[in-house]
Structure 1
Amino acid sequence: MVTENAGSPAGGRLVGRSCAVTGAASGIGRAVAERFVREGASVVAFDVDEAGLDRLAERFPDAVSTVVGDVARDEDARRLVAAAVERHGRLDVLVANAGIIPLMEITEATAEDWDHVMAVDGRGMFLTCKYAIEAMTAQDRPGGSIVCLSSISGEAGQRGQAVYGPAKFVASGLTKHLAVEWADRGIRVNAVAPGTITTERVARLYDEPGGTEYLGAIEKLHPMGRLGDPAEVAAAVLFLASDDASFVTGVVLPVDGGYLAQ
């Protein structure tokens, strides 16, 4: 159960800010985009899912514009950042959220599986951060905030994640290295590490054979005894993106119901 105020706006913490969110058509990315809009931001939403982006933009026509593309493609990542600068004059916040989550053991995985996940979750995060930093250092008032989406799988080992888990270690590592590299130029780089979150894909498991039993077992692995909600992750992303975290950089913040505390 989500806490009562998890999705409630806290008073315009991103008023006047230009923000780009990848993977914004669904799940955590969509929750982040929605929360940012309620906090006063202008959001450029990016995803391969054009229909999902259209639904988001229809809800917030004055605050959300969209770019369809694949973060793993250099030209698409560059185009996202250029769109934010062209439409809003600058880029203040990047949320590097786009990713895919295949679950398989190493004996099941192929080299193609590895390359595909690393292209989206690894290369895609690298590219969007690269072009965001280039824009943030070139604008009239240099600086900005980047929030990467890691995972509990990017902080601790888990079964069945021989491909996905290492990609999230990339997210955690990239966050720390970029934070040190760009701190003196006014760019903060942080990450959140969610536990299991009830995104659309996870919610569908309840209707699949064995899904209820599987999710029940996963819930028990989280000391709070439940799964998280995308709005709860969005609240943590908002904190790291906003001036409330002005002296915070290089942090990988768990949003995991106590999972990593065990």
Structure 2
Amino acid sequence: MSTAGATGRLHGKSAVITGAAFGIGRATAVQFAREGARLIVTDNQGDPLRKLADELRETGAEIATVIGDVSVEADANRMITAATDRYGRLDVLVANAGIIPLGDVMEVSAADWDEVVAIDGRGMFLTCKFAIEAMLATGGGAIVCLSSISGLAGQKRQAAYGPAKFIATGMTKHLAVEWADRGIRVNAVAPGTIRTERVKQLPDEPGGSEYLAAIESMHPMGRLGEPAEVASAIAFLASDDASFITGAVLPVDGGYLAQ
């Protein structure tokens, strides 16, 4: 693993990253390892998660895995207690786990809605809740939630995902105000369309190629983002470089929301 761009600004910090097996979560785990963090990486997919952990261990990173579902209260609690048990404290939570279905309100079923809100909404609530409990015991910490451009502005075919990301945006702001005086900072990133594994699969779905071409053209920089570009923003918000920033929702979107 290259150390290019590493500053060591997370050296020794204990961090939990949910949804770490793929995409932005995986890129964040790689970035945090470069920055010297001690990691707990979590996902509901065990094999790719263990592969990531093995790769990072080879670079000297301290890392352990927790396989579970963030929407299950006991699993979310295990993810946080893994950090306090192994490292004695929790300094950073990256609440990244989520699913991204596409569909308008006529296409999305009630079951689809329930699944998205359970994972993207309830799962973020639970991991933040248990993280704050752990951080209060040691004097504070930093939480970075994954919102989206869909959590700040309306988009077509986001009838379930977009509202779930508005939950992320709202939770970020409310938790930031609730816990600022206890040393806990809560911020979010709002990525534009990022070249994750999920986005790369879109051309194989009905209407996916057309959707992808249209959304790419809506980003003023004329391209999609890369997971590592979002990970860099997350690392900044998690670090002491952002010590006077809380309640912020940082777009990482190639100018999408500036229009």
Q: Partner of 2:17: helix, strand, or coil? A: strand
Corresponding residue SS for 2:114: helix
Structure 2 residue matching 1:66: 3-state secondary structure: strand
Distance 2:217 2:18 in 1: 31
Task: Quote the offset at 1:210 in angstroms.
Answer: 5.8
**Structure 1 runs (4+) greater than 6 angstroms displaced:** none
Shift of 1:170: 0.1
In structure 1, list runs of 5 or more residues that go unmatched.
1-6
Confirm or deny that 1:56 pairs with 2:52.
Answer: yes
Cα displacement (A) at 1:230: 0.1
Structure 1 residues 155, 228: CA separation in 2 closer, same or farther (over 3 Å shift)? same
1:46 corresponds to which letter in structure 2?
T
Structure 2 counterpart of 1:144, from 141, 160, 163: 141
After TM superposition, the structure 1 = structure 2 runs for residues 3-82 of structure 1, keeping only pairs within 5 Å, are 8-61=4-57, 62-82=61-81
Structure 1 match to 2:164 = 167
Identity %: 68
Number of aligned positions between the proteins? 254
Deviations 1:192-237 (A, max 9, x none): 0000000012123346676544322211100000000000000000
Q: Is the contact made by 1:24 and 1:53 (CA closer than 8 Å) also made in structure 2?
A: yes
Residue matched to 2:109: 110
Give how far 1:112 is off. Answer: 1.2
Counterpart of 1:3 in structure 2 is none
Q: Which blocks of at least 5 consecutive residues in structure 2 are unaligned?
A: none
**Structure-2 separation of matches of 1:211 and 1:158:** 15
Residues 96 and 147 of structure 1 are in contact (CA less than 8 Å); yes or no, is this contact kept in structure 2? yes
- The DSSP-based 3-state class of the residue aligned with 2:66 is strand
Q: Where does residue 179 of structure 1 map in the other structure? A: 176
Matched, 1:245 2:222: no
Shift of 1:107: 1.2
Letter matched to residue 78 of structure 1: N
Counterparts of 1:198 and 1:186, CA distance in 2: 34
In the alignment, what sits opposite 2:96? 97
CA separation in 1, counterparts of 2:78 and 2:206? 41
Does residue 232 (structure 1) correspond to residue 229 (structure 2)? The answer is: yes
TM-score w.r.t. length of structure 1: 0.94
